[in-house]
């Protein structure tokens, strides 16, 4: 690409005035210069509007205050307002690294690639680095068979080709959580994904954030998986679908065992997972941990 195409960066925010300017500044400080930032304020009740006044004279930043309708609606409003050939995301409490777009956008030279994503680093609520292992293996190419088992695409790292949205839709507004996994599954049916190992995105870990709501996450994950498999019943081999359900039940069971020190409900989930795939090794490992009490220590 000889000329820089326009990249639209959507930031949906709700009561994140303390972090929002840091997120915006990290995007504006990109080595990639042809970009716009679309900030959709989902009815914030803090000082977000005051914080946004500092960007009033910057033509690269558009501030769109709305009524509080939830993050899917806010993100979709951002997508509607985006003018770029490519669309990227940054959560209001996170940060971009300056080279993010410079290393990711060239991957779109391959016209089959619809989503380019990268690796993540972590900080705490005060901005101090946090050591955390990468939870999932990353994949490139045609990834539906891997993605249906684990959402290995960190949301804020993703840059999408505008055609993805135009051809395969935006976020499902009926889902309060897990909307990115639902989106990636749909996009994976028609587009390739490309992983860039650079740490271009910094995820902030702080008390009270939605990502800690594991029960809500799993509730919506079950809905998303069921919806995808019902919509695309022949997209994946039966064995892959069985693995997806097995992993879903086992993962939920072990989350409950670890977080709430439960036994019988996790045991039921693990056994259900093994009924989907008797040879699912993580299920047997989870069962052993439960029986030995290690998952609840």
Confidence of residue 134 (pLDDT cuts 50, 70, 90): confident
| Coil, strand or helix at 232 | coil
Average pLDDT of the residues of the chain: 94
pTM over 0.95: no
- Nearest to 89, CA basis, from 3, 192, 200: 200
Under 8 Å CB-to-CB from 45, ≥6 apart: which residues? Answer: 15
Chain centroid, CA 87 distance in Å: 14
Contact 68, 144 (CB under 8 A): no
Mean of pLDDT values over 179-196: 98
Q: Please determine, looking at this structure, whether the domain spanning 7-212 carries the CATH number 3.90.550.10.
A: yes
Quick: pLDDT tens for 43-61.
999 999 999 999 999 999 9
CB atoms within 10 A of CB 108: 20
Confidence of residue 295 (pLDDT cuts 50, 70, 90): low
Mean of pLDDT values over 102-126: 97
Cα(275)–Cα(287) distance, rounded to whole angstroms?
A: 13
Kindly list the domain boundaries of the chain, sorted by start residue.
7-212, 237-296
Under 8 Å CB-to-CB from 189, ≥6 apart: which residues? Answer: 144, 168, 232, 235
Q: Which of 71-75, 203-207, 238-242, 288-292 has the lowest mean pLDDT?
A: 203-207
pLDDT for residue 291 is more than 90: yes
Residues in the chain: 297
pLDDT for residue 104 is more than 70: yes
What per-residue confidence (pLDDT) applies to 1? Answer: 45
| Coil, strand or helix at 116 | strand
pLDDT for residue 297 is more than 60: no
């Amino acid at each position: 690409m000889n000329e820089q195409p326009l990249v639209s960066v959507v930031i949906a925010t709700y009561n994140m005035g303390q972090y929002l300017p840091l997120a915006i500044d990290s995007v504006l400080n990109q080595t990639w210069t042809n970009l716009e930032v679309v900030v959709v304020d989902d009815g914030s009740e803090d000082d977000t509007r005051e914080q946004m006044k500092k960007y009033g004279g910057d033509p690269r930043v558009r501030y769109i205050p709305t009524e509080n309708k939830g993050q899917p609606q806010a993100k979709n409003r951002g997508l509607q307002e985006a003018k770029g050939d490519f669309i990227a995301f940054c959560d209001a409490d996170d940060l971009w690294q300056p080279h993010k777009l410079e290393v990711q956008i060239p991957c779109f030279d391959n016209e089959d690639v619809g989503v380019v994503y990268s690796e993540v680093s972590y900080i705490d609520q005060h901005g101090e680095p946090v050591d955390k292992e990468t939870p999932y293996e990353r994949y490139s190419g045609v990834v539906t068979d891997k993605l249906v088992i684990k959402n290995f695409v960190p949301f804020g790292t993703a840059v999408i080709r505008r055609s993805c949205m135009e051809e395969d839709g935006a976020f499902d507004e009926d889902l309060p959580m897990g909307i990115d996994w639902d989106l990636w599954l749909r996009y994976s049916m028609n587009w390739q994904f490309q992983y860039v190992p650079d740490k271009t995105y910094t995820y902030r870990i702080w008390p009270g954030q939605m990502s800690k709501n594991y029960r809500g996450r799993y509730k919506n994950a079950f809905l998303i998986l069921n919806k995808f498999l019902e919509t695309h019943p022949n997209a994946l081999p039966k064995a892959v679908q069985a693995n997806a359900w097995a992993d879903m039940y086992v993962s939920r069971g072990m989350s409950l065992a670890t977080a709430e020190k439960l036994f019988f409900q996790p045991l039921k989930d693990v056994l259900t997972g093994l009924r989907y795939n008797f040879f699912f090794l993580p299920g047997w490992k989870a069962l052993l941990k439960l029986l030995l009490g290690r998952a609840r220590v």
